[in-house]
Structures are given as C-alpha cells and as structure tokens.
Amino acid sequence: MAVDWTKIYKKYKGLWVALLDDEQTVVGSGKTAKEAWNEAQQKGYKKPILTRMPEKLATYVGFGL
C-alpha cells in the first residue's frame, strides 16, 4: 500500500527525516542524515527509517521495459 507523505513533505522538504516503522511519524530531522539519526537516538528510537524529502516534486510519466 502506498504511503502519503504530503504533510511530511510540506514540513520537511529538503531535509532528512527519521521515521518510525509506520512510515508516518517523524522522530528526527536535519540537514544531514546524521542529524536526523542523532535526534531520533536522543529521543530513544534506536532504528528509525531514514529518508530525504526532496526540495521539489518532479512528475514522472512513463514506464520501464
């Protein structure tokens, strides 16, 4: 099932975020992955999911063969 990151994108665009396993709850953020990771660690979350929110959304239409 697809995950809607619209709200996360709006708040954290261009930043790294640390997410819980639900892929919706942000437990850390920063300009670098290390900053996001460290914030999550300080809050007691040992293995967050790290991802970077893009600065701009790009539309892709097509398919691969």
What residue spans define the domains of the chain? 6-52
Contacts of residues 29-32 at CB distance under 8 Å and 24 or more positions apart, as own/partner, are none
At residue 39, the 3 state secondary structure works out as: helix
Average pLDDT over residues 19-31: 97
Is residue 34's pLDDT more than 90? yes
pLDDT score of 37: 98
- CA separation for the pair 1, 38 (Å, rounded): 29
Sheet containing strand 49-52, edge to edge, reads 26-30, 16-19, 49-52
Average pLDDT over residues 52-64: 81
- CA separation for the pair 8, 16 (Å, rounded): 11
